């Protein structure tokens, strides 16, 4: 069954009569189940059939839940006391919510209906180049670096793997049946995931915030399909670090923050961004550790700076932004600003 109508005819009466569910709750139950099933069907690599691993419930504002006097009232007579929530979005209208049971606690995730800001016409672009240990972002004058959390996350993942090996044999993985060990392994994996998620969220907000203050756009590489290339790396530790880094995670957060703040976004092809000259498109030659030089025009810079400039150049062309002669794509031989706010008052910077 793929349509909501067929599922309604098959399950609505049973959910109402057998489980005595309110009509709105019954409808939300099979709407949520149908969405998960269709997502599995549309996935080219289906793998195992989807299973319910965590207790959760989809709710609609008004008909499914309502917030009143410090309590969440769920249709059917359930009333939960609110012990804390983020007050920054109280002025926005509530949307769909999901009630989740985790670690003995009930959490209600509420979506907010926020008006989408109108994008502006950018004057330039903040380009983002992502590598394993750090990311580099900026334009031809601004060069900022931010270390990743890949080492810290990999340490927690390694602890989980060591625990699995300790409680396993060639015939039987005993850690799967020992609840305390299984919970500890899951907590280690969750810790590694949360570290990278928090880093990606804060980093994307910093990048988009800088672009908005300067009246710029944000540009990043299209890393679709990168995971297939990473799996071919022979060194296991290096391969694991790159995979759990989750380049798509930072990309999704940059896209979301740009849309949320009305910052124009450009996604460019990654081919040759670290091997072509951003001034004359010639093939670069390696002169030292991560140092590249153009034999034609003489431009010499760090490999990451070269990648950032090429991403910016392609984004300017895609967004049809006219650059100031002599200002953009200048040879980065002079000292560049690093981790310095170019305008402390948040006003657009004059490009002369």
Query: CA angle 136-139-142, nearest 5°?
Result: 75
**pLDDT (0 to 100) of residue 344:** 33
pLDDT tens digits along 22-67: 777 788 888 888 888 887 877 766 677 777 777 888 888 887 888 8
Q: What region does 246 belong to: left with phi over 0, alpha with psi -120 to 50, or beta?
A: left
- Could you tell me if 307 and 136 are in contact, meaning their C-beta atoms sit under 8 angstroms apart? yes
Distinct helix (H) and strand (E) counts, the chain? 8, 14
- Token pair, residue 29, equals 């139950």
The pairing of strands 217-221 and 125-130 is parallel
Question: For residues 134 and 250, what is the distance between their CA atoms, to the nearest angstrom?
Answer: 12
Residue spans in the chain of domains classed CATH 3.30.420? 125-148+199-319
**pLDDT (0 to 100) of residue 315:** 93
Question: For residues 230 and 347, what is the distance between their CA atoms, to the nearest angstrom?
Answer: 41
Mean pLDDT across the chain: 80
Query: CA angle 252-198-190, nearest 5°?
Result: 100
**pLDDT (0 to 100) of residue 314:** 92
Question: For residues 127 and 285, what is the distance between their CA atoms, to the nearest angstrom?
Answer: 23
Question: For residues 98 and 109, what is the distance between their CA atoms, to the nearest angstrom?
Answer: 5
Q: What region does 61 belong to: left with phi over 0, alpha with psi -120 to 50, or beta?
A: beta
**pLDDT (0 to 100) of residue 191:** 93
Question: For residues 274 and 306, what is the distance between their CA atoms, to the nearest angstrom?
Answer: 6
pLDDT tens digits along 170-184: 777 888 888 888 899
pLDDT tens digits along 58-84: 888 887 888 888 888 887 677 888 887
Question: For residues 117 and 97, what is the distance between their CA atoms, to the nearest angstrom?
Answer: 23
Strand partners, 302: 291
The set of residues, in sequence order, having a beta carbon less than 8 Å from that of 27 and lying 6+ positions away, is 8, 12
pLDDT tens digits along 140-159: 888 999 998 888 888 998 89
Dihedral Cα 18, 23, 25, 30, nearest 10 deg: 70
- Could you tell me if 167 and 181 are in contact, meaning their C-beta atoms sit under 8 angstroms apart? yes
- Token pair, residue 295, equals 């034999």
- Could you tell me if 136 and 308 are in contact, meaning their C-beta atoms sit under 8 angstroms apart? yes
**pLDDT (0 to 100) of residue 173:** 81
Q: Per-residue pLDDT for 264 more than 70?
A: yes
Long-range pairs of 340-349 with CB within 8 A, sequence gap ≥ 24? 341/210, 342/141, 342/142, 342/214, 343/213, 343/214, 346/213, 347/213, 348/123, 348/213, 348/214, 348/215, 349/214
pLDDT tens digits along 97-142: 888 887 788 788 888 888 888 888 999 999 998 877 788 999 988 8
The mean pLDDT of 246-255, rounded to a whole number, is: 84
Strand partners, 126: 218
The pairing of strands 105-113 and 93-102 is antiparallel
The DSSP secondary structure of 302-320, one letter per residue, reads EHHHHHHHHHHHHHHHHHT
The DSSP secondary structure of 209-244, one letter per residue, reads HHHHHHT-EEEEE--TTHHHHHTT-S-HHHHHHHHH
CATH code of the domain occupying 125-148+199-319: 3.30.420
Q: Per-residue pLDDT for 20 more than 80?
A: no
The dihedral of CA 314, 315, 318, 320: what is its sign? Answer: negative
**CA distances for 223 relative to 129, 227, 272, 315, 319, angstroms:** 11, 9, 13, 15, 19
**pLDDT (0 to 100) of residue 258:** 93
Strand partners, 71: 68, 81
Pick the closest to residue 3 from 58, 60, 41 (CA basis).
41
């Amino acid at each position: 069954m793929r349509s909501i109508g067929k599922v309604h005819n098959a399950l609505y009466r049973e959910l109402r009569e057998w489980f005595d569910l309110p009509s709105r709750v019954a409808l939300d139950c099979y709407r949520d189940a149908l969405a998960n099933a269709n997502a599995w069907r549309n996935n080219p690599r289906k793998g195992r059939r989807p299973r319910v691993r965590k207790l959760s419930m989809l709710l609609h504002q008004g008909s499914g839940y309502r917030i009143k006097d410090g309590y969440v009232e769920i249709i059917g007579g359930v009333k939960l006391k609110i012990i804390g929530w983020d007050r920054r979005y109280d002025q926005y209208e509530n949307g769909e919510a999901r009630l989740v049971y985790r670690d003995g606690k009930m959490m209600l995730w509420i979506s907010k209906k926020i008006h989408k800001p109108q994008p502006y016409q950018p004057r330039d672009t903040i380009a983002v180049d992502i590598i394993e240990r750090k990311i580099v972002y900026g334009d031809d004058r601004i060069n900022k670096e931010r270390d990743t959390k890949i080492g810290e996350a990999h340490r927690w993942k390694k602890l989980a793997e060591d625990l699995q090996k300790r409680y396993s044999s060639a015939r039987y993985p005993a850690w799967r049946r020992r609840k305390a060990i299984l919970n500890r392994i899951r907590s280690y994996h969750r810790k590694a995931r949360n570290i990278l998620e928090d880093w990606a969220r804060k980093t994307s907000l910093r990048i988009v915030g800088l672009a908005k203050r300067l009246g710029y756009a944000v540009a990043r590489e299209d890393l679709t399909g990168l995971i297939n290339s990473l799996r071919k790396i022979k060194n296991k530790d290096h391969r694991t670090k790159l995979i759990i880094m989750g380049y798509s995670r930072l990309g999704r957060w940059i896209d979301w923050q740009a849309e949320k703040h009305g910052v124009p976004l450009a996604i460019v092809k990654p081919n040759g961004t670290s091997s072509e000259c951003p001034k004359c498109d010639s093939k670069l030659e390696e002169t030292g550790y991560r140092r590249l030089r153009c034999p034609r025009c003489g431009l010499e810079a760090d490999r990451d700076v070269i990648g950032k400039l090429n991403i910016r150049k392609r984004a300017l062309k895609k967004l049809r932004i006219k650059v100031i002669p002599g200002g953009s794509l200048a040879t980065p031989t002079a000292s560049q600003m690093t981790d310095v706010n170019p305008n402390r008052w948040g006003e657009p910077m004059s490009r002369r």
